[in-house]
A and B are shown apart, each in its own frame.
Chain A
């Protein structure tokens, strides 16, 4: 084993077993749900899936940005980004229920040609074969790129060969445009096409804004948890928390900017084809959740994150990070579930069970992955610069 700091999985056997047991039980329950109430279940599963998908895809995004910009501060936290990004492979398997239950989710798959004129105009894009091919392309790209990045990074731990840094940079440069395309069209396919009559060209960017911000919050939580467990002491400093907090602030603002941009253009033009999305979400009991999202996802964290003392306090920043992840969950809930319950909030037990099922599965796999390599890239050429980062 190369040098470095290792996660001792024996210390966490209890947690790992617990996660595994809960994952198995809840996945079995999900199977029951899929048989008993497939209509509600399919939406609940999609909601849980996109929530965790955005978190993992965001960690992939931060990894490639790190390499593409030749950043030095993020070296010490990069291994955890890589670890979370490889969970996209697990999500590819968890995507299968969506394919099986597709007829419940995507009405455009079952409407025969000639019934809905505006769907017939979109058939060149919205058809099952092309949908499947796209899903395969998206996941193939994410899996290959995230595995490559993690593999190069862990091989560099062994011999410290700086060529790996160059190779990771190459992978990242190719990945940047591909990531943008895959995330945008993934958002179009899986979320926007829930209502094939509605469209927004900003939808992909909107999803990206939430993705990047919430995965940075997840990174704060993961790093803080590892430090709580006694790892990365003296490796990750308050300076790193400060930078991560700044990124949370930046993407909190960016999310609001994109979200408002999307809303205002549709609100101002007032065309029924476009306003139906917000009409559903701004009326009935959905209005409460929409307002909670606007205030809780932007105004409150924006005001709090402006303060430097919060960003330099891992404990307080972690609380805010957990809140941001909760808000990302609400955001995904508000995108997926109103497509089913257009007349008002209708909380279902399957929403919770699907969340637990996917969350514990990913957590279980993460605990396996994290123990495999050092907790930080121990021979990265930029490690010293990262350790001594001052900002």
Chain B
């Protein structure tokens, strides 16, 4: 099943759950069923959901480390470059060699933090494929409750294990209500 009767491409099959606890339990079942491309939606963060979904470690930290190291190296270059090599200038009787490093630490620190936070922000956006104008889930009118009291689970049609009947049964068994097909734009 890749298209709806109206000719839209299918994005996912989704269901609504009555509570955060029900969604949490459902997520564990879906994880154990071996699905890879799926997501849950709730009005607030649910503690332990990452584990229930089997998400594993986020590698955002790798990008942050990269950002931090590049910020640090940038500071080293823009400080020691001019002050020690291009235009050495004695200030306050301080040396122009390596031992003037205490004066440079604040800049190194700030640029490390700045580049780390930039890396965290932009890598997070990229990993979540943000920014975007719209999301297929908004094509389902019940989904508007997600910012209020709705708990949703959607298994994408891209998933290799996705079959219309199989997913429908799984969602039904886990207590999902209003099970429906969500189409792409």
Chain A neighbourhood of B48, CB < 8 A: 390
Q: Are B102 and A390 in contact (CB under 8 A)?
A: no
A270-B92, A270-B93 as given contacts; A264 in contact with B103, CB under 8 Å: yes
0 or 1 for each of B100-119: is its CB under 8 Å from A? (1 = yes): 00110110000000000000
Is A299 part of the binding interface, using a Cβ–Cβ cutoff of 8 Å?
no
Shortest distance from the beta carbon of B175 to any chain A beta carbon, whole Å: 23
Cβ-defined partner of B105 (8 Å) among A264, A270, A390: A264
CB proximity of A259 to chain B, nearest CB, Å: 11
* Count, chain B residues at interface, CB 8 A: 9
A268→B103 CA distance, assembly (Å): 7
Q: Are B102 and A267 in contact (CB under 8 A)?
A: yes
Contact call A263/B102, Cβ cutoff below 8 A? yes
Contacts of B92 in A (CB 8 A): 268, 270
Contact in complex: A260, B102 (CB < 8 Å): yes
Q: Is the CB of B47 within 8 A of A390?
A: yes
Q: Is chain B's binding surface mostly helix, strand, loop or mixed?
A: loop
The smallest beta-carbon distance between B87 and chain A, in angstroms, is 20
Segment 153-191 of A: residues with Cβ below 8 Å from B: none
Contacting residues of chain A (361-391) with chain B, CB-CB under 8 angstroms: 390
Distance of A142 Cα from B106 Cα, bound (Å) = 36
Please determine whether B102 and A268 come into contact, CB atoms closer than 8 angstroms. yes
- Which residues of chain B are near A390, meaning CB under 8 Å? 47-48
A-side contacts of B103, CB under 8 Å: 264, 268
With A and B bound together, what is the CA distance between A270 and B93 in angstroms?
9
Measured CB to CB, the closest approach of chain A to B101, in angstroms, equals 10
Measured CB to CB, the closest approach of chain A to B59, in angstroms, equals 12
What residues on B are CB-neighbors of A270 within 8 Å? 92-93
- Docked pose: A270 CA to B106 CA in angstroms: 18
Encode A243-268 as 1/0 by CB contact (under 8 A) with B. 00000000000000000100110011
Interface residues of A (CB under 8 A from B): 260, 263-264, 267-268, 270, 390
8 contacts between A and B (CB under 8 A): A260-B102, A263-B102, A264-B102, A264-B105, A267-B102, A268-B92, A390-B47, A390-B48
Which 6 pairs between the two chains have the least Cβ-Cβ distance? Answer: A264-B102, A267-B102, A390-B48, A390-B47, A260-B105, A270-B92
